[in-house]
Amino acid sequence: MSIILECKGITKTFGDKRALSDINLQIEQGRIVGLLGPNGSGKTTLIKLINELLTPTAGEIRVAGMRPGIETKKLVSYLPEKTYLNDWMRVHQIIELFMDFYNDFKPEKAYDMLKRLNINPNDRLKTMSRGTREKVQLILVMSREAKLYLLDEPIGGVDPAARDYILETIISNYQEDATIIISTHLISDVEKILDHIVFINNGQLVLSSSVDEIRNEKGKSVDALFREVFKC
């Protein structure tokens, strides 16, 4: 298995605030990884660094062996925590925009998923509920055939039934050699589909382990372990 993502001694400071310190991490191809940590632990900062929306204060990131940049952006499909799409646009217009932007975008996939979630491609984002908007964004991101998907809180705003559908969408739409990194605190909802988890707290890596190992060695679910490690 080759390594799709490697972080070597990643540190990021904002002024005198240390958001991440000395993160070392290797993620293999073909994995579904949960990036888990309490609020403010540095999950989004790490994802933004991988995306080159931020640059590290120290250390090095490699995506498929390359520094983050134009070449890696072709391989990475990113779902930000906040929407960046113009809300006056209709869904089909956004799909056309994505087709212009990304070679690996498959519009037929997007239309198919929209149909299954009963979302009308002629609707404007402005007229949609927050949950529906989140679904549209996730559909756009998962309709690319990327090597690495970075999903920052993909299921936060949607109802439990739609959550199941979205997880199903994630499982059935990724190529076997692609890796998905999901940041979330809704652990029990995603636990079944994860291979590997990464716990971070206060900008530090607490644990990087396979889910099977946790259940085998500790006899508890990732959710239970999380509650134990991050007990307030």
Partner 1 sequence: MPWDFKSDRPIYTQLIEQIELMIFSDIYPPGSRLPPVRDMAQEAAVNPNTMQKALSRMEEDGLIVTHRTSGRSVTEDGDMIKKAKNKMALEQITEFLEKMQKLGFDRQEVLSIITGMTEEMKK
Distance CA 59, CA 203 (A): 14
**Considering the rule CB under 8 A, would residue 223 count as an interface residue with partner 1?**
yes
Smallest gap from residue 143 Cβ to partner 1 (A) = 18
**Residue where the block lists tokens 């933004």:** 48
Vertex 131: Cα angle to 222 and 121 (nearest 5) = 125
Per-residue binder mask for partner 1 (CB under 8 A), 126-165, x = binder: --------------------------------------x-
Q: Does 228 bind partner 1 (CB under 8 A)?
A: no
State in angstroms the smallest separation of the CB of 187 from partner 1: 11
Answer whether 79's CB lies under 8 Å from 152's CB.
yes
CA of 191: how far to CAs of 40, 55, 64, 214, 220, in Å?
Answer: 21, 30, 26, 12, 12
Closest CB 164 distance from partner 1, rounded Å: 7
Q: State how far the alpha carbon of 99 is from the alpha carbons of 71, 91, 96, 142, 159, in Å.
A: 18, 12, 5, 13, 29
Residues belonging to the chain = 232
Residue 175 makes contact with partner 1 by CB under 8 A: no
Query: What is the nearest approach in angstroms of partner 1 to the Cβ of residue 179?
Result: 11
Look up residue 190 and give its amino acid. Answer: V
Closer of 31 and 74 to partner 1 (Cβ) = 31
**How far, CA to CA in Å, does 86 sit from each of 50, 76, 106, 124, 158?**
24, 22, 21, 9, 20
Find, among 192, 229, 226, the residue nearest to 212 by Cα: 192
* CB of 87 or CB of 164, closer to partner 1: 164
**CB closer to partner 1, 112 vs 164:** 164
Distance CA 27, CA 31 (A): 8
Site for partner 1 in 29-88 (CB under 8 A): 30-32
Q: Is 172 in the site for partner 1 (CB under 8 A)?
A: yes
- Give 116 or 220: the residue with its C-beta nearer to partner 1: 220
CB of 194 to partner 1, least distance (A): 7
| Interface with partner 1 in residues 179-218 (CB under 8 A) | 192-195, 211-212, 215-216
Rounded-to-integer distance, Cα 80 and Cα 93, Å: 20
Q: Is 177 in the site for partner 1 (CB under 8 A)?
A: no
Residues 6+ away with beta carbon under 8 Å from 107? 95, 98, 99, 143
Nearer to partner 1, 108 or 176 (CB): 176
Is residue 100 part of the contact set for partner 1 (CB under 8 A)?
A: no
Residues that bind partner 1 (CB under 8 A): 30-32, 164, 167-168, 171-172, 176, 192-195, 211-212, 215-216, 219-221, 223-224
